[in-house]
Amino acid sequence: NLEIIYRVSEDGNYEEIENWDEVSLKIQKFTSSFGNYIQKRFDKKILDLMSWDELSKLLTSKQYIEQNSLKEIQYFHYLYGVSLTKGEPIKTEILLPNNFGGNPIKADLVVDLLEYNDDIAKISLTQRLNQNDVKEMLLGFFKKVKFSNKDFTEVFKKAEYKIDDDATFLFNEKLGIFEKTSFTRHIK
């Protein structure tokens, strides 16, 4: 669980992440335990091929956290201008940014009005990322961290990838703001 608290202007424009120290600490703990996991399963020769410390510094920097959080906020928070009817979901294909550079990632998107009571709308947003695009993004990531083990790369190319995002919004129509956003990412 990673909670990101951010501030926006009166117009709804992003200003800053208020708890970036806490977010950075959680990411540091994750990269540390993931690094320990990798060290137990790969020999030293393979680990030397990866610049693990540099990757950890990148993932926990304020710039990286803000840059990537802003992308998430843009794609999951703002549904202004969308007209929804209960029982008639909007289904479309969208392009998401590739945080490691390269081509954008295609995703199937469904936006649905689940409930509407007392000027509060409960809206569901579900997106399923294209497996081939995810694979290309991850292979690009391994190239950037200079991981160059041929056997692993071949297995990686044949592996199954799945990233599904589910978000639920409570929107206060009277005030014109989102009161609550819940977001879950499932990764296989």
Residue-wise pLDDT tens digits, 5-47 = 887 777 666 778 888 888 888 888 877 777 777 667 666 655 5
Work out the average pLDDT over 53-77. 68
Rounded alpha-carbon distances, angstroms, from residue 112 to 75, 80, 92, 103, 116 = 15, 14, 12, 28, 11
Residue-wise pLDDT tens digits, 105-125 = 899 999 999 999 888 889 898
In the predicted model, is pLDDT for residue 88 greater than 90?
yes
The pTM (predicted TM-score) of the whole model is: 0.59
In the predicted model, is pLDDT for residue 150 greater than 80?
no
- Rounded to 5 degrees, what angle do the CA atoms 138, 105, 52 make? 25
The lowest-confidence range among 11-25, 65-79, 145-159 is 65-79
CA–CA dist 20, 52 (Å, integer): 22
pLDDT at 79: 61
User: Phi and psi at residue 61, in whole multiples of 5°?
Assistant: -75, 150
Chain-centre distance of CA 184, in angstroms? 9
Give the number of other CB atoms < 10 A from CB of residue 147: 20
Q: Which residues pair with 26 in a beta bridge?
A: none
